[in-house]
């Protein structure tokens, strides 16, 4: 049997999240960026896309480093959107210092692309085909709106202009959606609206050395392992403009024998989603659990025979 570490995306951020972490990684991040990163996790600072993404990178990396000590290891990593960056760091494919600079640029590019009037909305209670039909009714050059995330069979996220998302939300409620909720994300991620910033980020990535992952890296957009450096480079650079298939990613891990799913900080949103897929095994979040308990689970899973 196998284990999977997962890293959340934007929307999971919490004020004060960096202040609860082991200090070494926080200090390292501050030195690399030339700024005090502890100033990035205030309620006001987290209104910035750059700050949010850096906080999620630092939090995921710091927690995973503390977890993977004393002989503990994991078989797979996966990250939702920005979560792919700490996943790549933990897999040994991307240096933490390079990840910090790339994520800083990524956040700035996304923030500048659509500074206002755009975002993301979760629609719960409708299937994919129904939501795609609603998007087709509303989408136009004046009211752009796209499918962004497939989180579960009946939990989808759309991205686009405020007017377009509001129109889709009203239609969704009329079709029986249980909830249509605007997310705390100020950028229309995972859709063609971010094609141009993704291309700029890809140019920066071309100058950064990557290595083959030493832990299996599952792409959150492709829902399958990435096994070459060039494929990983492309996956990380362009995931901002591609649909996230998180349902497929978790299902892919389960089908590969994963029976231990640990969500790195902050929060437990991905834990709730994974429980729909994991008919057997353990699904748990780092937040709220004892470190020695999580390490014991990793060791136990590593000893299990398939």
81 is catalytic: yes
Q: Which of the following is catalytic: 186, 190, 219, 252?
A: 190
pLDDT of 229 over the 70 cut: yes
Q: Which of the following is catalytic: 30, 81, 104, 189?
A: 81
On average, the pLDDT of the chain sits at 97
Architecture of domain 118-182: 2-Layer Sandwich (3.30)
Tokens standing for residue 45: 């600072």
| pLDDT tens profile 174-208 | 999 999 999 988 899 999 999 999 999 999 999 99
> From 3.40.50.1000, 3.90.226.10, 3.40.366.10, 2.60.120.380, which CATH number describes the 2-113+192-303 domain?
3.40.366.10
Confidence at 287, pLDDT banded by 50, 70, 90? very high
Instruction: Compute the average pLDDT of residues 62-76.
Output: 95
Confidence at 306, pLDDT banded by 50, 70, 90? low
Instruction: Compute the average pLDDT of residues 59-65.
Output: 98
Q: Domain locations in the chain?
A: 2-113+192-303, 118-182
pLDDT of 6 over the 80 cut: yes
Burial 75-114 (b: 16+ CB within 10 A, else e): bbbbbbbbbbbbbbbbbebbbbebbbebbbbbbbbbbebb
Centroid of chain to Cα 113: 20
> What pLDDT, on the 0 to 100 scale, is given for residue 305?
54
221 is catalytic: no
Instruction: Compute the average pLDDT of residues 101-119.
Output: 95
pTM: 0.96
Confidence at 279, pLDDT banded by 50, 70, 90? very high
Confidence at 146, pLDDT banded by 50, 70, 90? very high
- Asked, colleague to colleague, whether 2-113+192-303 and 118-182 share their fold, the answer is no
Consecutive H or E run containing 103: helix 96-113
Centroid of chain to Cα 102: 15
Confidence at 1, pLDDT banded by 50, 70, 90? confident
């Amino acid at each position: 049997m196998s284990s999977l570490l997962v890293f959340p995306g934007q929307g999971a951020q919490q004020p004060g999240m960096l202040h609860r972490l082991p200090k070494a990684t926080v200090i390292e991040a501050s030195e690399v960026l030339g700024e005090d990163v502890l100033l990035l996790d205030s309620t006001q600072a987290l209104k910035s896309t750059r700050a949010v993404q850096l906080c999620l990178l630092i939090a995921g990396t710091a927690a995973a480093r503390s977890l993977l000590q004393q002989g503990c290891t994991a078989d797979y990593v996966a990250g939702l959107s920005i979560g792919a960056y700490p996943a790549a760091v933990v897999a040994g494919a991307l240096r933490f210092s390079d990840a910090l600079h790339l994520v800083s640029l990524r956040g700035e590019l996304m923030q500048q692309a659509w500074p206002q009037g755009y975002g993301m909305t979760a629609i719960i209670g409708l299937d994919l085909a129904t939501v795609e039909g609603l998007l087709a009714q509303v989408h136009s050059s004046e009211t752009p709106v796209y499918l962004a995330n497939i989180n579960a069979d009946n939990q989808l996220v759309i991205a686009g202009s405020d007017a377009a998302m509001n129109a889709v939300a009203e239609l969704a409620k009329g079709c029986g959606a249980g909830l249509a909720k605007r997310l705390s994300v100020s950028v229309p991620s995972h859709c063609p609206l971010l094609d141009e910033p993704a291309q700029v980020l890809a140019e920066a990535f071309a100058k950064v050395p990557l290595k083959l992952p030493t832990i299996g890296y599952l792409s959150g957009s492709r829902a399958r392992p990435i096994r070459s450096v060039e494929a990983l480079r492309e996956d990380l650079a362009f995931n901002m403009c591609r649909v996230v298939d998180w349902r497929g990613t978790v299902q892919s891990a389960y089908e590969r024998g994963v029976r231990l799913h640990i969500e790195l900080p902050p929060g437990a949103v991905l834990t709730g989603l994974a429980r729909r897929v994991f008919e057997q095994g353990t699904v748990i979040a780092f937040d709220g659990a004892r470190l020695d308990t999580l390490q014991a689970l990793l060791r136990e899973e590593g000893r299990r025979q398939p």
